[in-house]
Amino acid sequence: MTIKVGDTLPDVTLVKATSEGPEKVQSGEYFAGKKVALFSVPGAFTPTCSAKHLPGFVEKAEDLKAKGIDEIACTAVNDPFVMQAWNERDGSESVTMLADGNGDMAQALGLTMDGSGFGLGQRGSRWSAIVDDGKVVELNVEEAGQFEVSSAEHMLGQL
């Protein structure tokens, strides 16, 4: 079943990528009490993710925060070391990287994709959401191969 607006995010273990090393976090605790601009990419360092998706949220971070977003977070089915390296290369301190290494979050949300044709295996699909105190208030899921509704620009229009 795919998550929808009004649902609460599932409580799964994610790994926050930090400069001090990986830090396990429970999504239920992490998203509690704050408004988060959350976006998911099929993979760190992949073309659209690196050229458009992450950079858009970096560029629009202050605009998002000015409209009430407390935190911006990116999730992907990658390990925390890759997520940290990607953030150091293409991201910023404005974006928190949450590794979903086993795909537990993607599966629990019902937002997976099969990247086997590209050697990627099962991944999370491309989407974004505004999450307020753990509840999904906006959800923007991309069609396969698209990048439109999950962008930071689109999200700004929803706030």
The pLDDT mean for the chain works out to 90
Q: Which residues have C-beta within 8 Å of that of residue 128, sequence separation ≥ 6?
A: 37, 38, 39, 40, 138, 139, 140, 149, 150, 151, 152, 154, 155
Condensed to tens digits (0 to 9), the pLDDT of residues 113-138 reads: 666 666 565 768 889 999 999 999 99
Record the pTM.
0.91
In a domain, 152, yes or no: yes
Range of the domain at 144: 13-158
Question: Catalytic residue positions?
Answer: 49
Domain count, the chain: 1
In this prediction, residue 146 carries a pLDDT of 84
Which pLDDT score is estimated for 64?
A: 97
Write the CATH number for 63.
3.40.30.10
Q: What is the pLDDT of residues 33-70, one digit of tens each?
A: 999 999 999 888 876 767 678 989 999 999 999 999 99
Q: Residue 2 falls within a domain, yes or no?
A: no
Q: What is the percentage of the chain residues whose pLDDT exceeds 90?
A: 67
Query: Up-side HSE of residue 104: CA atoms within 13 Å toward CB?
Result: 16
Q: Is residue 97, in this structure, part of any structural domain at all?
A: yes
Domain-embedded: residue 5 = no
Model pLDDT, residue 30? 96
Please compute the mean of the pLDDT values over residues 101-114 and round it to a whole number. Answer: 88
Mean predicted confidence (pLDDT) in 19-27: 92
Q: State residue 95's pLDDT score.
A: 95
* Residue 6 domain flag: no
pLDDT number for residue 116: 61
Long-range contacts, stretch 64-67, CB < 8 angstroms, 24+ apart: 64/37, 64/152, 64/155, 64/156, 64/159, 67/156, 67/159
CA distances from 120 to 10, 18, 38, 72 (A): 24, 24, 22, 25
| Whether pLDDT at 105 is above 60 | yes
39 Cβ contact list (under 8 Å, min separation 6): 53, 57, 72, 73, 74, 75, 127, 128, 129, 150, 152
Q: Does 7 map to a domain?
A: no
- Identify whether 120 is part of a domain: yes
The residue whose two tokens read 């999730």 is 75
Q: Using 50, 70 and 90 to split pLDDT, how confident is the model at 150?
A: very high
Instruction: Assess whether pLDDT exceeds 90 at residue 97.
Output: yes
In a domain, 145, yes or no: yes
Phi/psi at 86 (5° precision): -65, -40
